Structure 1
Amino acid sequence: MVAETIGAKAEPRTTGLGLVVAGASLGTLFEWYDFFLYGSLAGEIARHFFAAVDERTAFVFALAAFAAGFIARPFGALVFGRVGDLVGRKNTFLVTMTLMGASTFAVGLLPDYSAIGVAAPVILVALRLLQGLAIGGEYGGAVVYIAEHAPRDRRGFATGFINIMATGGLLTSLLSIVLFRSRMSEAAFAATGWRAPFLLSAALLAISLWVRMKLNESPIFRQMKAEDSLSRAPYAETFGRWENMRLMLVALFGPVAGQAVVWYAGGFYALFFLQRVLKLADLQTDLLLIVALALAAPTYVVAGWLSDVVGRRPVVIVGCAIGAVALIPLFHALTWAANPALAEAQARAPVSVYADPARCSVQFDPIGGNRFDATGCDIAKAGLSKAGISYRSLALPAGAATRVEIGPRALTVPDPSGAATARKAGVTAFAAQAKAALTAAGYPAKADPARVDQVRVVLIVVALVSIAALIYGPTAAILAELFPARIRYTSISVPYHLGAGWIGGLMPATAFAIVAGAGDIYAGLWYPTAFVALSFVVCLLFLPETLGRSLEA
């Protein structure tokens, strides 16, 4: 165990630091496994729990339910942050881990829509909210626990292992999915096999609890308790003092928001983009992501170590700058590497929809009631979106018939009459014409496995994750060093989970909604690009250098 001196103002010593890092980080990995497992199986969740709406809307619903957990995270940060500052770091994240594991296990047992109707998605969202509350208390606890044990000159390196565990959790969830998917037919996995990784969380929960039970409370918390200097009103001290609030806002819109959007773009959105847009097979995508994440994972620790050498600010600022410039070009490169036939077709025969804007609806239906078949514009855009085809929208004079151009070929899509049979016929007719025109123009129905440049796909994802690591790697140390020990758990947890939960966690659902509305498969990437650019500005102008600060103040 780490040596400590109660009642003395001494920096923590490194004896047993490996056990502290392993215990806190391993538990964090298992909690992130539970949390990200849902996102990794969003396609299966959509089919089983949101079967009442069309396939595209069901997938966005599944992402929205995934986002519900992120929405709950700041509230968990408030609840468990206060508990952590009042009663201790260790016991708090034992509670959060138990809550997370139990909720994940319950998802594996939950009957789907065909069995219990609308109760299925309602209960699913409730479980996601519980998971969000739990994870809201996890990260702050792990950061504070390790940081309060680590020496000043190794704090970035030590806390970097916590940040690696977010990627480790995603990697572990993908490995479990591949394990079960490879041992059964695709039909069997789609029917019931997808539940197995959720049920596996019971074993992981037992291991996590066993590891963390071996840890003692952090020396700084024990010192404050012995001196009777613990905060008696963490909320009042956290939110009632402008200097602390100002630092929380800098943390939120600086390193936290930047790392969140780039991490979710490079990890989760890349997974969805490869499967849903570029139409790679699920198993192939999972295997490529596993390799890429395994290769990129050490960069979090390297970035944390680098921040111990050159400072926290330079590493984070460089990461934000690269992210703002490189994010969209890297996804264009991903298209050429994963589905070159699609990239070639988009370059050779771009698709344009010419229509009267007044006759066009936004191609996203949050309640599943719009069939997008009342006008020629809706029929055309819905058909193209369903096929995963990127298109431009161009205006025509009022009353003009909708026209779709696929390279040199033009298709006229007249408004159908009000009868349901006519609308259905219009949808069917356009689908047949569009399919023929797209096929003639070289648009593939699916990615050709033989043409997937697997090495390039892996390297692009490694680049995306490595950019995130430059921002994320030093973030835990920055957060620990920004705030006083009395309110550190609360002050870290709230901005982190507002940024990672609301700004970053909502990124996949928001990006796909933007794509559905704009018709451009890259349009959703402006969301993370805008936020990481904002983070660059905030870090450059307002983030103080924290390297070397004492954590006992």
Structure 2
Amino acid sequence: MATTTANGTLAPSTIWKVIAASSAGTLIEWYDFYIFGSLATIISAQFFPKGHETAALLGTLATFATGFIVRPFGALVFGRVGDVVGRKYAFMVTLLIMGLATTAIGLLPNFEQIGFLAPVLLLVLRLLQGLALGGEYGGAATYVAEHSPDGKRGYYTSFIQTTATLGLFVSLGVILVTRLNMADASFKDWGWRIPFLLSVVLVIVSYMIRRKMSESPVFMKMKEEGKASKRPLHDSFMHPQNRRLVILALLGATAGQGVVWYTGQFYALYYLQTVLKVDFVLANQIIAVALLLGTPFFVVFGALSDKIGRKPIMMAGCLIAALSYYPIYQGMEFYSDWSAANPTAAGINPNVAMLTFLVWIQVMFVTMVYGPIAAFLVELFPVQIRYTSMSLPYHIGNGVFGGLVPFIGTALVASTGNHFAGLAYPISIAVMTFIIGTIYIKENRNVQWHGPTKT
């Protein structure tokens, strides 16, 4: 049994075990979720009719987006489970669902084999991925936060925040290693399945690690005192004060955070590949290096938020990103060697160092908005409804507002012919979040937790 302090948090000697176990499972779930996006251009050729490449890519991106859109429903289902049954049980179930769905994608017949049933089944499996992830993040973030001492929640939960970017980095790494060890034609034909099939091994390992974890001491104390909510969904969204907090968390924090995150990581990848015509392997290498260099700053900004607050860092990230996207993407076009006069020669001689630097800047915006947000969300809601209440705005902000960035951006570029048209959407959402968050969000970093309630 882990050693705990008087207020129910883990002793410093054991909290790192909680962080490691929580982060390992969450990283694997993000890995599973992101493989699909990282391979979107190849999946589009496998599961949609040939001859309409743009329509196929948009169809794949739409399927990719459904995984994000369904995440709020997963947040509701597993959020309730986490608040009633327990944090640990909820994210054990989500891990298994995610692993099975991801492995099944790797075994799915393509369009040539089963026709339109292929994209339908792909969509179903993507929906299962989204449901699972909708329940995973809130559980892991809440679990770590409820073990963390007052004054260090930003620092300790920031390690959970690194798992999303590390999951994307690992997915890119596995894809690149697989691709570089076989011919291009073989990878596009069947090799792309290997990263999906590897998921089953990772999930088994993570499941064995999580089985040994104890339930959150804050949650257990609340249950022992008989203060648990019997209707967390009702208490979260029908009670006026809690409902107002959920809306503010969405529009004043997670919506902007979501679009900044997916612009800097996913839209940048699609932009390099589909607009600037940078080679598939090179584009993935650029993103992977930028992510690797940027990841430590999740912890930097998480720790800084314990000192100066979550709100100023997140709002600054939204504003700076909104003001910087146009010049950054103009620079990406310039350094990619793209030319409107000769588009067939695009991406042949790109300046890799400068492209990596420009993507890294976008990742830095991501670390500013994302590093402190787990601590911000768990501090916003009481423990009785915390899992449910924080999960919904997080997954609407990231799953809907953020998840639609690649699809809306690619569609706007395709429909207008303007390379920069896709940036209008994330810029407008980031500005909205900056205004609402600055005016209405309250800073809660100094809140003290005593057992199951906040003072």
Q: With structure 1 as the length reference, what TM-score do the two structures score?
A: 0.80
Question: Aligned equivalents of 1:490 and 1:14: distance in 2?
Answer: 28
Structure 1 counterpart of 2:363 = 465
Pick aligned residue for 2:95 from 90, 94, 97: 97
Shift of 1:550: 2.7
Tell me the SS of whatever aligns to 2:346: coil
SS of the residue 1:167 aligns to: helix
CA drift at 1:15 = 3.3
Structure 1 residue 208 displacement after superposition: 1.2
Structure 1 residue 263: Cα displacement: 0.8
Equivalent position SS for 1:231: coil
Aligned pair partner of 2:238 in 237, 240, 245:
240
Asked if 2 retains the 8 angstrom alpha-carbon contact of 1:27 and 1:209, the reply is yes
Q: Are 1:99 and 1:131, in contact at CA under 8 Å, matched by a contact in 2?
A: yes
The question of whether the paired residues in 1 share the 8 Å contact of 2:106 and 2:197 is answered with yes
- Alignment partner for residue 43 of structure 2, among 42, 45, 48? 45
Partner of 1:526: 424
Matched-pair contact (CA < 8 Å) for 1:2–1:15: no
Partners in 2 of 1:158 and 1:214 — Cα distance? 20
CA distance in 2, matches of 1:150, 1:500: 25
One-letter amino acid matched to 1:133: L
Of 24, 27, 51, the match for 2:25: 27
Alpha-carbon distance in structure 1 between the residues aligned to 2:233 and 2:189 = 47
How far is the alpha carbon of 1:9 from its aligned partner? 4.8
From 286, 289, 292, the counterpart of 1:288: 286
- Residue 159 of structure 1: SS of its match in structure 2? helix
How big is each residue's C-alpha offset from its partner over 1:461-506, in whole Å with a ceiling of 9 and x where there is no partner? 1110111111111100000000000000000111111111111011
SS in 2 for 1:510: helix
Amino acid at match of 2:384: R
Match of 1:199 in 2: 197
Query: How do 1:175-214 residues align onto structure 2 when only pairs under 5 Å count?
Result: 175-214=173-212
Structure 1 counterpart of 2:405: 507
Give the counterpart of 1:485 among 359, 383, 388. 383
The one-letter code sitting in structure 2 at the alignment partner of 1:529 is I
* TM-superposed deviation, 1:80: 0.2
In the aligned structure 2, how far is the partner of 1:200 from the partner of 1:304?
Answer: 31
Gaps in structure 2 of 5+ consecutive residues: none
Once the 2 structures are TM-superposed, how far is the Cα of residue 14 of structure 1 from its aligned partner?
Answer: 2.6
> Contact between 2:29 and 2:99, CA under 8 Å: does it hold in 1?
yes
Aligned partner of 2:346 in structure 1 is 446
Contact persistence 1:25–1:142 (CA under 8 A):
yes
Alignment partners' CA distance in 1, 2:52 and 2:152: 52
Q: What amino acid is the match of 2:117?
A: A
Report if aligned partners of 2:44, 2:57 keep a CA contact under 8 Å in 1.
yes
How far did residue 328 of structure 1 move? 1.9
- In structure 1, the gaps of 5 or more residues are 347-440
1:12 Cα deviation after fit? 4.8
Distance 1:239 1:540 in 2: 23
Aligned partners of 2:261 and 2:366 also within 8 Å:
yes
Instruction: Work out the CA distance in 2 between the residues paired with 1:229 and 1:53.
Output: 60
How far apart are the structure 2 equivalents of 1:2 and 1:486?
23
Shift of 1:287: 1.4
CA distance in 2 between partners of 1:442 and 1:130 (Å): 43
**Is contact 2:8–2:217 with CA below 8 Å preserved after alignment?**
no
Give the Cα–Cα distance (whole angstroms) in 2 for the partners of residues 157 and 9 of structure 1: 18
Quick one: distance in 2 between partners of 1:224 and 1:535?
A: 34
Check if 1:217 corresponds to 2:215: yes
SS of alignment partner, residue 13 of structure 2: coil
Per-residue deviation, 1:129: 0.5
| Cα contact 2:254–2:397 (8 A) shared by 1 | yes
Cα offset, 1:442, TM superposition: 4.1
Structure 1 pair 131–442 and aligned structure 2 pair: CA distance change class (3 A): closer
Structure 2: distance between partners of 1:515 and 1:443: 15
Cα deviation for residue 508 of structure 1 reads 0.5
2:9 touches 2:218 (CA, 8 Å); kept in 1?
no
Aligned-residue offset at 1:443: 3.9
Letter in 2 for 1:227: E
Counterpart CA distance in 2 for 1:497 and 1:443 is: 38
* TM-score scaled by length of structure 2: 0.97
Deviation string for 1:66-123 (max 9, x for gaps)?
Answer: 0111111010000000000000001110000000000000000000000001111000
Q: Confirm or deny that 1:166 pairs with 2:164.
A: yes
Contact kept? 2:9, 2:149, Cα under 8 Å: yes
Q: Indicate conservation of the 8 Å contact 2:8/2:218, yes or no.
A: no
Q: C-alpha distance in 2, partners of 1:169/1:525?
A: 25
Alpha-carbon spacing, 1:177–1:10, altered in 2? closer, same or farther (3 Å): closer
Asked if structure 2 preserves the Cα contact closer than 8 Å seen for 1:481 and 1:550, the reply is no
Q: What is the alpha-carbon distance in structure 2 between the residues aligned to residue 84 and residue 59 of structure 1?
A: 36
Which residue of structure 1 aligns with residue 441 of structure 2?
A: 543
Pick from 262, 276, 279 the counterpart of residue 277 of structure 2: 279
Residue aligned with 1:153, SS: coil
**Cα distance in 1, alignment partners of residues 304 and 443 from structure 2:** 14
C-alpha displacement of 1:452: 1.8
Aligned to 2:308: 310
Shift of 1:3: 2.5
**Which of 326, 349, 354 is residue 324 of structure 2 equivalent to?**
326
Query: How far does residue 520 in structure 1 lie from its aligned partner after superposition?
Result: 0.5
- For 1:496 and 1:88, locate their aligned partners in 2 and report how far apart those are by CA, in whole Å: 19
Structure 2 residue 415 is the aligned partner of structure 1 residue 517: yes
Distance 1:66 1:443 in 2: 28
Q: Distance in 2 between matches of 1:209 and 1:332?
A: 45
- Rounded Cα–Cα distance in structure 2 between residues aligned with 1:216 and 1:11: 12
Q: Deviations over 1:500-532 (max 9, x none)?
A: 111101111111111122211110111000000
Separation of aligned partners in 2, 1:160 and 1:492: 16
C-alpha contact 2:276 2:347 (8 A) present in aligned 1:
yes
> Residue in 2 aligned with 1:362?
none
SS in structure 2 at match of 1:152? coil
Question: Using the alignment, how far apart are the partners of 2:8 and 2:143 within structure 1?
Answer: 16
Q: Distance in 2 between matches of 1:148 and 1:175?
A: 33
> How far did residue 290 of structure 1 move?
1.3
Greater per-residue helix proportion: 2
8 Å contact kept, 1:259–1:469: no
Query: Using the alignment, how far apart are the partners of 2:226 and 2:10 within structure 1?
Result: 20
Structure 2 residue aligned with 1:148? 146
Which structure has the larger Rg?
A: 1
Q: 1:10 to 1:138 in 2, by over 3 A?
A: closer
Question: Residues 310 and 376 of structure 2 are in contact (CA less than 8 Å); yes or no, is this contact kept in structure 1?
Answer: yes
Q: C-alpha root-mean-square deviation of aligned residues, in Å?
A: 1.3
Alignment match, 2:4: 4
Corresponding residue for 2:266?
268
Instruction: Look up the equivalent residue of 1:4 and give its one-letter code.
Output: T
Q: Which residue pairs with 1:228 in the alignment?
A: 226
Query: How far apart are 1:2 and its partner, in Å?
Result: 4.2
Q: d(CA) in 2 for partners of 1:150 and 1:452?
A: 46
From the superposition, tell whether residues 223 and 507 of structure 1 become closer, same or farther in structure 2 (CA, over 3 Å).
same
Q: Distance in 2 between matches of 1:320 and 1:44?
A: 32
